[in-house]
A and B are shown apart, each in its own frame.
Chain A
Amino acid sequence: MLQDVSANHRQQYARPVTSVITMANRRDHFLARWGVNRGGHRVELGLYALGNPTADSPVLVTANYTLSFDALRSALAGIDSYILVLDTKGVNVWCAAGKGTFGTDELVRRIEATALQDVVSHRVLILPQLGAPGIAAHEIKKRSGFRVEYGPVRAADLPEYLQTRQATPEMRRVRFTLRDRLILIPVELVQGLLPMLAAAVVSYFIGGFLAAMGAITAILAGVVLFPILLPWLPARDFSTKGFILGEVAALPFALAIFLERPEAAWWLKAGQALIYLLALPACTAYLALNFTGSTTFTSRSGVRREIFTYVPIMAGMFGTSLLLIITFALIGLLGGL
């Protein structure tokens, strides 16, 4: 009897969905990764039926972001289940939990809106572990009667988790692998493109082709090389890692100054080389510091400490290089060269 009621409700309330990722899905994922139409990669809210779920089938909760939803449904291939999609404004689970949109109120609201208590006979919800910063499990129990179970961090571990109902310590840890970092580069690149072009044009008018290349190099080092090299750059702080990477990127430019004009006065060459050695690392380090928000492990306390410690140093280095540029320009104007 219960089965019949469930089947009835399933048809009424739960949209059918498959675990197949289509070409259209892949195109959408690609665009999302490149930052095209941010916040627009959404799925319809509510309850979905994957396969042929019954009143006993598990209910998994996710965000209305296509990458989150598709990761979940593709991981659940062959597993009859329900997917409950919360309104996170097209933002992934972890970030939405941090903002509170993947939150206690929204979950309770969505349970009620989908009449979930009539669809399933059990009272268990499986949430992604990274939804926990927005959800108070004991509050959900109190307000909806459903018990929240935190599943693994990654959807790929769900098949094993659903069998054992036990997440291994490895499943509970976030990682930040090379692949995780590589996947972030397109968005960083798209966002860095306009500032990079502007900086290159300005630099070109100040110091010519070499200066323009320097600006481009500093920014590419910050948004492309830094995410790749993050774990291998020495030092703990992001800013320090950025300074080191920036100095390495600036060295060829400093050398080029010396090789380009062997006849010029040594102090002139040294001064111009110094401009590169100060300005480029300052830019790269600033971009490196800004990458903290994209990682999976930086704390607010740690980032605040870094901002107070290193932003003045970055500003000082950049300011000094500007003073040098102005000084050399004045010397040039006065015919000192």
Chain B
Amino acid sequence: MARTPVKNTLQYDPDLCVNCGMCTMVCPHAVFASGSSVVQLARPEACMECGACQLNCPAGAITVESGVGCAAAMIRAAVTGSKEVTCGGESNSSCCSDSSCCSSDE
């Protein structure tokens, strides 16, 4: 199991990779790059833990504890004792429910 030296939860096991290239397509930060036989972990430090790669990897070669990188949501969850840390939700945090946490509207 290849452990990444950086401080996030992304883990990629090249032994399981079937080189379908889905992770290189879904990652918004070019963390993965195409390789000849397996995908290469090119920029693990840029991972924002959105979880797209794990969900779209048919071989289960990628794991990441996905979640929102949103302090407002995490602090709110800590204060209210809620386990579920999510953007927006019913309350009005600045992230999400408009386009903000994602900034892209597409």
**Which residues from chain A sit less than 8 Å from chain B, CB to CB?**
32-33, 35, 38-39, 62, 65, 67-68, 71-72, 75, 90-95, 97-99, 128-130, 132-138, 150, 152-156, 167, 169, 172-174, 176, 180-181, 183-184, 187-188, 191, 238, 289-307, 311
Knowing that A174-B104, A300-B9 are A-B contacts, what are 5 other residue pairs whose CB atoms are under 8 Å apart, sorted by A's residue number?
Answer: A38-B98, A95-B87, A95-B99, A129-B26, A155-B105
B71 close to chain A: CB less than 8 A? yes
A200 to chain B, nearest CB (A): 20
Residue with the highest number of chain B CB atoms closer than 10 Å, among A137, A150, A152? A137
Known contacts A133-B66, A293-B101, A300-B49; A191 and B94 CB within 8 A of each other: yes
**How far is A183 from B104 in the complex, measured between Cα atoms in Å?**
10
**Inter-chain contact A95/B102, CB cutoff 8 Å:** yes
**Inter-chain contact A132/B106, CB cutoff 8 Å:** no
**Which residues from chain B sit less than 8 Å from chain A, CB to CB?**
7-9, 22, 25-30, 46-52, 55-56, 58, 65-75, 85-88, 92-106
Closest 4 CB pairs of A and B: A293-B70, A293-B95, A298-B69, A94-B102
B27 to chain A, nearest CB (A): 7
A236 to chain B, nearest CB (A): 11
B11 to chain A, nearest CB (A): 12
Known contacts A99-B86, A130-B106, A154-B104; A291 and B25 CB within 8 A of each other: no
Residue with the highest number of chain A CB atoms closer than 10 Å, among B8, B69, B88? B69
Q: Please, which residues of chain B bring their CB within 8 A of the CB of A133?
A: 26, 50-52, 55, 66
Closest residue of chain A to B24, judged by CB? A172
**How far is A129 from B8 in the complex, measured between Cα atoms in Å?**
22
Closest residue of chain B to A127, judged by CB? B26
Could you show 15 A-B contacts with beta carbons less than 8 Å apart? A95-B97, A98-B87, A99-B96, A132-B25, A132-B55, A132-B56, A150-B25, A169-B30, A289-B71, A296-B48, A296-B102, A296-B103, A297-B48, A300-B65, A306-B71
B75 to chain A, nearest CB (A): 7
B28 to chain A, nearest CB (A): 4
Closest residue of chain B to A180, judged by CB? B103
Closest residue of chain A to B89, judged by CB? A99
Say whether chain A's binding surface is mostly helix, strand, loop, or mixed: helix
Q: Please, which residues of chain B bring their CB within 8 A of the CB of A306?
A: 71
Residue from A91, A188, A298 within 8 A of B70 (CB atoms):
A298
Closest residue of chain B to A177, judged by CB? B103
Known contacts A67-B105, A133-B55, A307-B74; A98 and B94 CB within 8 A of each other: no
A76 to chain B, nearest CB (A): 11
Known contacts A154-B104, A172-B25, A187-B94; A91 and B88 CB within 8 A of each other: yes
Residue from A173, A174, A184 within 8 A of B100 (CB atoms):
A184
Q: Please, which residues of chain B bring their CB within 8 A of the CB of A75?
A: 106
Q: Please, which residues of chain A bring their CB within 8 A of the CB of B72?
A: 290, 292-293
**How far is A159 from B87 in the complex, measured between Cα atoms in Å?**
31
B18 to chain A, nearest CB (A): 11
Closest residue of chain B to A154, judged by CB? B106
Q: Please, which residues of chain A bring their CB within 8 A of the CB of B102?
A: 92-95, 130, 296
Q: Please, which residues of chain A bring their CB within 8 A of the CB of B68?
A: 98, 293, 300
B48 to chain A, nearest CB (A): 4
